[in-house]
Amino acid sequence: MSSIPVTTWSLEQTSPADLLPAVAPGGDVRIVRAEVPSPEFSRFLYASVGGDIQWIDRLGWSHARWREHLDRPGVETWVAYERGTPAGYVELEAQDEGAVEIVYFGLLPGFRGRRIGGHLLSYGTARAWDLAERWPGRTPTKRVWLHTCSLDGEHAMDNYRRRGFKLFDTEVRTQPDVPTPGPWPGAYPA
């Protein structure tokens, strides 16, 4: 199996004032927290959003592993819907010392390029900043961070920077060049 170089960029905000919200898209777009942990729904979002950009690390997770992850205090999934159809999601994870990571963020391929991504990232980042309000006992958020890589969508880095995220680390590694799995085999054209 061949391998490919992958650049990973880590970005952060250190104050709620860093957030530069995007304009909300027109039409019927809503963002709702998935408050009932659902391994099936979370795996659907993960596989559907990341299927064409080599999100593979969670594909082998069992139902129990998904449940364990989703049941952790401070893990939240916020889902964007367009006219009632899931369009994308952002997954937040509270960490020690007031940090919140945007662990996953993205749109299903059919919803990209329609101004939903900037709005969803803005909304998700704002929810990262106020996450402690929903989880009694958590330290108030002092830092929101994420990482993106050269396999992500071509507009990902620009979106993060337009929302006020600042680069704090860059790393280059090689990884196996795996076929794009899609949400199921053969979902995307070759």
pLDDT over threshold 90, residue 166: yes
Q: Would you say residue 184 lies in a domain?
A: no
- Determine the structural domain holding residue 102 and report its residue range: 3-176
Q: Is residue 145 part of a domain?
A: yes
| Percent of the chain whose predicted confidence (pLDDT) is above 90 | 80
Give the model confidence (pLDDT) of 7-23 as tens digits: 999 999 999 999 999 99
Q: How confident is the model at residue 190 (pLDDT cuts 50, 70, 90)?
A: very low
Strands 143-149 and 99-107: parallel
Rounded Cα distance between 27 and 30, Å, is: 9
Q: What is the pLDDT of residue 186?
A: 62
- High-pLDDT (> 70) share of the chain, %: 94
Q: Would 61 be classed as within a structural domain?
A: yes
CATH number for the domain harbouring residue 100: 3.40.630.30
The reply to whether the predicted model has a pTM over 0.85 is yes
The reply to whether 159 falls in a domain is yes
Q: Is residue 182 part of a domain?
A: no
What are the pLDDT digits (tens) for 38-89?
999 999 999 999 988 888 889 899 999 999 999 999 999 999 999 999 999 9
Total tally of structural domains belonging to the chain: 1
